[in-house]
Amino acid sequence: MSFRISPLWWPFLGVASPIIVPFLIAKNRRFKKNLKLAGELNKDRIRQTEPFDVPELNFLELTVLVEEKTEENFLGDAGVSYLFRSDQGSFLYDVGFGPERPALAHNAAKLGIKLDQIDSLCISHLHPDHMGGLKAGRAKCVTVPKELGMPKGKPCFLPDKADAEGFKCELIDRPRLLTGGIATTGPLARSLFFFGLTEEQALFAHLKGKGLVIFTGCGHPTIEVIVQMVRRLSQETIYIIGGGLHFPITGGRGNRAGIQFQTVIGTGKPVWQRITDDDLSSTITALNKFNPCKVFLSGHDSCDHSLTRMKHELKAETEVLRAGKTYRF
């Protein structure tokens, strides 16, 4: 298992410890407070949710625009952008690092995809690898590469307060139907040590004759909580679970300057604790209990070790998503 922070940083961290230690103590206080708050929020949201009719889709397909793994001649990145198409419309879920990195613009051009072909945009959560990059994250403004064309006021569904250049922003505060016959779980919370209280919305749809399709961005609220919310909304059989589950156990993606950021800042644990194989085993057990027919894993936030374990230990037919590929469900 590799170091999360390169030993080259250790002398600097030692010298800076009089500043770093009080900072971490303050963060930990907030982290513990948000742990309780997130649990209460999710419990109340699930309890107060009433089922609603989700239309049966005759077909649903996913074209992966940004992912860590790729088809030949496509660019990979530690971010997510998924285009869903159904017989009721189309729907873009997340925009990766947007214009800050070339993957989204390059892959969309190669696939011939532009915003004028898409009914709406939905952002899973306000992290840079989903809303358009570090600058977008700091400004809390979703940003899409200009190569994709102009949004022209199309809806952008957000789980927390933010702007989106050229879109008509809609703040999602509860489960509801979006566009293309696809619904949102509404925001579900997770306490993250550095990011604070993070709100994330997952997607679900009802595929005729097969059951529910559930997709996450990073899965920060945990797949257990997400499925609990979906189960509150519909009792249909779960056919597919897909997207990010956030298991960077042996290392993170998109590391910079000797720091594995995903293993340090993106977890639901204190910074001095790691995500472990025991944590993954618990999620594998839960996924097997949910008994989906198929699982589509995101490699953008899970290491190869975790992906391999899930492919071998899940009862469902399991595949790792690849940028440039279209999956018809």
Domain range list for the chain: 19-328
Spatial distance between the Cα atoms of 272 and 223, rounded to a whole number of angstroms: 23
Task: Identify which of 249, 256, 244 has the alpha carbon closest to the alpha carbon of residue 300.
Answer: 244
Radius of gyration, alpha carbons of the chain: 19
Give the 3-state DSSP-derived string for 31-86, with helices as H, strands as E and coil as C. HHHHHHHHHHHHHHHHHHCCCCCCCEECCEEEEEEECCCECCCCCCCCCCEEEEEE
Reduced to 3 states (helix: H, G, I; strand: E, B; else coil), residue 195 is coil
Output the tens digit of pLDDT for each of the chain's 329 residues.
578 888 888 888 888 889 989 999 999 999 999 999 999 999 999 999 999 989 999 999 999 999 999 999 999 999 999 999 999 999 999 999 999 999 999 999 999 999 999 999 999 999 999 999 999 999 999 999 999 999 999 999 999 999 998 999 999 999 999 999 999 999 999 999 999 999 999 999 999 999 999 999 999 999 999 999 999 999 999 999 999 999 999 998 988 888 888 988 888 999 899 999 999 999 999 999 999 999 999 999 999 999 999 999 999 999 999 999 999 99
Which DSSP helix (H) or strand (E) runs through 142?
A: strand 141-142
Q: What string of DSSP letters covers 8-23?
A: GGHHHHHHTHHHHHHH
pTM of the predicted structure, to 2 decimals? 0.96
d(CA 95, CA 251): 23
- How far CA 105 is from CA of 5, 48, 258, 279, 307, in Å, comes to 31, 40, 27, 35, 27
Count of alpha carbons within 13 Å of 159, Cβ hemisphere only? 28
Which residues have a Cβ under 8 Å from the Cβ of 252 and sit 6 or more positions away? 4, 78, 260, 261, 262, 263, 264, 266, 303
The C-alpha angle 85, 87, 88, rounded to 5 degrees, equals: 85
CATH for 19-328?
Answer: 3.60.15.10
Q: Give the span between the Cα atoms of 110 and 89, in whole angstroms.
A: 21
